Amino acid sequence: MSNNIGHHLFRQSLLRPAVFEHLSKLNSSGIPASSLLQSASVSQASAQIRRPSVSSNFYGKSLKARKSKLPAGTRRAATVNPRAVLAMDPASELAGKYNIDDGIELQVSFGNPTGSLTQVTVHITYSSDSLLLHWGAISDRKEKWVLPSRCPDGTKNYKNRALRTPFVKLGSNSCVNMEIDDPAIQAIEFLIFDEAGNKWFKNNGENFHVKLPRREKAVTSNISVPEELVQVQAYLRWERKGKQMYTPEQEKASFKNHFSCNKQPPFPRQKHQDSQCACLLSILEEEYEAARAELLEEVARGTSIEDLRTKLTNPNNRREAKEPSFGRTQNSIPDDLAQAQAYIRWEKAGKPNYSPEKQQEEFEEARRELLTELEKGVSVDEIRKRITNGDIQTKVSQKRSYSTDRIQRKSRDLMQIINKRAAKSAIEQVLDEPKELKEVELFAKAMVELEGGVILNQKIFKLADKDLMAFVTKLSGKTKVRLATDFEEPLTLHWALSKDGGQWLAPPVDVLPPGSVVLSQAAETKLTKKTSAELAFQVQYFEVECEEDAFVGMPFVLLSDGNWIKDKGSDFYIEFGSRSMEVLKDAGDGRGTAKPLLNKIAQMESEAQKSFMHRFNIAADLLDEAKNAGELGIAGILVWMRFMATRQLIWNKNYNVKPREISKAQDRLTDLLQDTYLSHPQYRELLRMIMSTVGRGGEGDVGQRIRDEILVIQRNNDCKGGMMEEWHQKLHNNTSPDDVVICQALMDYIKNDFDINVYWKTLNENGITKERLLSYDRAIHSEPDFRRDQKDGLLRDLAHYMRTLKAVHSGADLESAVANCMGYSAEGQGFMVGVQINPIPGLPSGFPELLRFVLEHIEDKNVEALLEGLLEARQELRPLLFKSSNRLKDLLFLDIALDSAVRTAIERGYEELNNSGPEKIMYFIILVLENLALSSDDNEDLIYCIKGWNHAIQMSNSRNDHWALFAKSILDRTRLALATKAEWYLQVLQPSAAYLGSLLRVDQWAVDLFTEEMIRAGSAAALSSLLNRLDPILRKTANLGSWQVISPAEAVGYVVIVDELLKVQNASYDQPTILVAKRVKGEEEIPDGAVAVLTPDMPDVLSHVSVRARNGKVCFATCFDPNILADLQANEGKLLRLKPTSADIVYCEVKEAELADSSSSNLKEVGSSPLRLVRKQFAGRYAISSEEFNSDMVGAKSRNISFLKGKVPSWIGIPTSVALPFGTFEKVLSDDSNKEVADKLLMLKKVLSGGEYSVLEEIRETLLELVAPSQLVQELKTKMKSSGMPWPGDEGEYRWEQAWMAIKKVWASKWNERAYFSTRKVKLDHDFLCMAVLVQEIINADYAFVIHTTNPSSGDSSEIYAEVVKGLGETLVGAYPGRALSFICKKNNLDNPQVLGYPSKPIGLFIRRSIIFRSDSNGEDLEGYAGAGLYDSVPMDEEEHVVLDYSLDPLIVDDKFQRSILSSIGRVGSAIEELYGSPQDIEGVVRDGKIYVVQTRPQV
């Protein structure tokens, strides 16, 4: 069938409704009747389209085609007759002729076939001794080259991928002759390579593709193919071409003609064909014969009839059947691809309102474009991959509206979304190998060594790939400035001096270097060359000297061969002060970073700043190195990309790059990030942040569309000059994320009645100033100036253009992310109705409708339903994010966009909460927590916070009196979770930001705020705002007030603000001081001179610092109200009086005269301490049982445990104990086997006595080297076994080694910082402090508690106060964040405990059956000195840190169980206090409901 006939019939029938497998009503052009672009009725359109564009009449067996008349003004395609250069054999058939570089012509011809041979000749008008034909063959529709066995002389195999045949020189031309004898070969492909010139000749950047002529085979006349196989092949051809339908007349003629020729029905009804017969009857005669010819061709190649039958009648094979690559007709392009290409053309054109005729023309033109690609040898599969990179759907997309205002969320188990893939902790990664100094650094070093002086500042600037160092020194009251560069061309320095940063003042004449020229406000000096063979440097340099304080800095620029050289578009500037040097010094060591990677990034920045294409490709190249560096390597890439995204780095530097090249580089980088996301799940959170800064990118035309569509906007709206042309030139040169902002500014300007102030407002709010617009390589000088009649068209076209811009530059734009995953669909937009390009297969059922709901409600004022929809979409999407897919990154960008939309929605929804109750705020907190959890690598704590909030809402709904108290504990825990996340960001990102920022000379403010801005970019900031909104409501409802007073002492002092109490615990204040500390962990000391410590932090009431405060009569309180805290901070330096009650603190400013009257100055008197220690001696035994405990052998802790045995009620358990008595440590240290350790300890103690406190850690490490005397081992073993305790060594020698290490750690804790400084404060002789070790079997506790039998906050002796934690008690007495459950019991009503606060500690400690070694020093026996808790108790085995879920804890959710346990703890306190006759500080545990007491001491 001729191509013309096929084209005609295609136009008449291909687009009829039967082609499409959907239920919408289509007109004959395939356009739904609802199309907004359809200007005529369906019947009119049908009639117009059926009218052929080519007039055709049959004359016998030939076809005569008459050209259709073209409308006036329409140009016919020009016919080009290239100049003939190459002569051709008259017997040859010309296969192809090409014009390539510099007028060179190439032609390929075929000789007359000889038997099974096809002769191919390649001529080129180019002569070279090294010219090669780089070639291969295409066989059986395979895309990869096959290498023929029959080759011309001299042919070589190239890497088993191609053949290389040398050309034969023919004067000024060259040729290659080859013979193809393989009948399976259908085409040859080749390139031409000039090996000497390293030059390739290509066909418009592609391979030359030449189809071989069909070879006639005499054998075919003797071959017959069964008719049933011809019928199946004909059906497959029809199916591949879209199941086109023909007119009844054609069908009838076809059937009749075929019947008369074959004397039988054309399609006998065989069993396997029954379902196909109705369709087969419509196959035309020509199609039938074409099917027969294809099968005969296969038989001629050697395929048997049985093989054909198997291939054709097997349903699986039929589904995979493909169109033969030879003899392609216009109908070889599947309709879905033609529609997709038509959509792309229509979108590029600005989505115009086409008439039906124009729609059909565009459809045909799209098909012709794809056919052209087929003719070049591109396969249909390659075209499909290029256009869609996935599946294509042609079902009509009908917009569905939800009948309800919100979705119904699915019930999910929150435990299923827990991630525990925390990356390893950030560790210091410092480059150990010495850094090779640059030439300018060698020069600077030589100058400083030669002259001496103090370096005030130094900077290295980049001059392309060269360096410029500026350094300032101070010597003998003079300031000397030097510049040095390895730039090779001569340079002139245009410079000045400054008294106010950046100011240009002409230098005084007396400081000018020789040869300088004075200008009006500057001077010019040529740089001088200096060489040192010894130090291996050659530089140009400049130096100037001035009085020390006369100037503050030097601005300058450089001049080279008439060109100005600047610093990133601005003047260079070097400060004379030391501030900048300090910044560089702090950031310059690279600790806590992947330093080698960051150094490499800095070295490559000059290349990266050429364009986004360069930067993204460099980042892609460095990604493997980043992965090898671990978490800090990924963080380094993130910091670099973030500096780029925030415009701290140059985006384009005089480099013209096409948008599609940027898009392709983005695509490469994001593909690698996608792969890393799957292979390294512990880095997913960081990788998501990188992707959001990079943007989506995309192979194909999406980048080029940025360039093309701006032209469409200009043409459609008649705005080709002014600002729009300048923007077009900028886009043509280099597109960037700035273009998204510019597009938005233009739309805002037009929407607001062409108000130019709105234009500038949008630009400035997004960081684009007039200066930035002028700084582009293609500067934007003009402001927009449109006519009012252009408004509608510009808004429409700019809105479409925004989608294209965001598709490339935005990683978090929801609309473009949805479109990219679901496919671009047009509703009522011409021939593109219903076409979905690039949808991702396998999305969850109902997911498209869910995304449509989100988009429909994205701007709702009331955001609750939107938040639910966004989170439901994220939950539905989540399982797909962990599966390998070539579209994973598109899913990730969708998830990132949904995440960002939650943050935006919640910020917009604050107003909705103004008049809402606490339940709604709690619900919003749950939603934002869910969003944060879905984006976090380690989210277990966040999930348990969600469960806690759900329980709080249940308590509120059930009118539980404690709901607000419980909700407050969950609020505190949620704040701790946010603080933990912020600390992780700070630890992982900030060192890299500081170090890389210093190398790249990023603005200091951008470095300082880096981590804060990263946190604010996510959901954490919105969550914090919601918590702040709810906190006062809960405190008021629970009657908590604004304070928790831990130590109610009145105080007068000067306010001092500190970040952490830990940093000032060893300070000594000369005047009474009220410390306002942002952080208090719980294990710190109170510094001398401090009369009060106020903090927003939440240490336990029974923590070490709380006991210290009460013991020292220091006011200590937690402030929950940020406004009160801010007011206190505003009083910094002022003298205040604090008057605490049990639940509040009143403060006011006082005069200094009142300070003398205050009894709270709390300043330490200098003099001898009344506290004295008695040195304990070794009593000759390494181990003793509890029956042998006395004051000469052990401390009060051990003695009290021994005392309790047999005296407390039987329902109170007392653990079995033994001890290593006083003097054992000293005895072990004196053993001959430990002489080296003893000598080193003596030396370190001398250093310590000199005030070098940093050796404390080294002392502890030294003591861990002690060796256990065999007698100690034997005695301890005997005592433990005789007491009924397990001996660790029975489980293996390694278990004893674990036990011995724990004992040494207890002894070493005598030198921990907290204990050492505590004893110094009260002037205890540290050498007299002795350490016994109490050995007990660990009870694997369900809960641990501490009791004070007199309420420590109020001093009420009628109340028992206790705190309870889940797991071991170390989280209570140690510095673990969060609060314990706290309660009080009246001693006369122990059965009714009153809960004061619910737990907020996120971590519980649990351990296997083991042994614990407790410190028991003689310092704990001193009256009036709280020595307990200063030293360490160490378990033999490491505790397991478990994230706690209080929503399942019976102590929280079971009122009966809670009352039972708490009242039992209260009775323990009452019984032991009665036994001793004084207030007691008691520690114990609960195991399976039974109470155990592990120690007691007098309450201080």
Residues with a known catalytic role: 1104
Distance CA 198, CA 130 (A): 10
What is the bridge-based pairing of β-strands 1115-1119 and 1088-1095? Answer: parallel
Where on the phi/psi map is residue 77: left (φ > 0), alpha (ψ -120 to 50), or beta? beta
Amino acid at 811: G
Closest CA to 539 of 441, 435, 648, 637: 441
Residue pointed to by tokens 């004959």: 28
Cα–Cα distances (Å) from 1058 to 429, 530, 1069, 1103, 1119, in that order, read 30, 51, 13, 20, 15
Q: How far apart are the first and last CA of the chain?
A: 106
Half-sphere exposure of 1296 (CA within 13 A, CB side): 14
Cα–Cα distances (Å) from 1274 to 624, 1283, 1306, in that order, read 55, 14, 20
Residue pointed to by tokens 């990219």: 820
Q: Phi and psi for 1296 in degrees, rounded to 5?
A: -65, -40
CB count within 10 Å of CB 21 equals 9
Residue 1084 contacts residue 1061 (beta carbons within 8 Å): yes
Reduced to 3 states, what is the DSSP secondary structure of residue 768?
Answer: coil
Closest CA to 296 of 197, 225, 397, 199: 225
Beta strand segments in 647-750, E: none
Dihedral sign for Cα atoms in the order 1228, 1230, 1234, 1237: positive
List residues bridging with 96 in a β-sheet: 108
Reduced to 3 states, what is the DSSP secondary structure of residue 1224?
Answer: helix
Half-sphere exposure of 880 (CA within 13 A, CB side): 24
Cα–Cα distances (Å) from 870 to 409, 865, 887, in that order, read 11, 9, 21
Distance CA 1192, CA 1188 (A): 10
Tokens of 249: 């007349």
Crossing angle (nearest 10°) for helices 864-877 and 918-934: 30
List residues bridging with 1241 in a β-sheet: none
Distance CA 551, CA 343 (A): 65
Tokens of 1420: 């704990």
Residue 1106 contacts residue 1081 (beta carbons within 8 Å): no
Neighbouring residues of 834: CB distance < 8 A, sequence distance ≥ 6: 22, 24, 32, 394, 395, 396, 397, 825
Distance CA 189, CA 211 (A): 9
* DSSP 8-state class, residue 267: S
Distance CA 609, CA 846 (A): 44
Crossing angle (nearest 10°) for helices 963-1000 and 940-957: 150
Residue 556 contacts residue 496 (beta carbons within 8 Å): yes
What is the bridge-based pairing of β-strands 131-139 and 563-565? Answer: unpaired
Residue 1023 contacts residue 1031 (beta carbons within 8 Å): no
Residue 1452 contacts residue 950 (beta carbons within 8 Å): no
Distance CA 460, CA 482 (A): 12
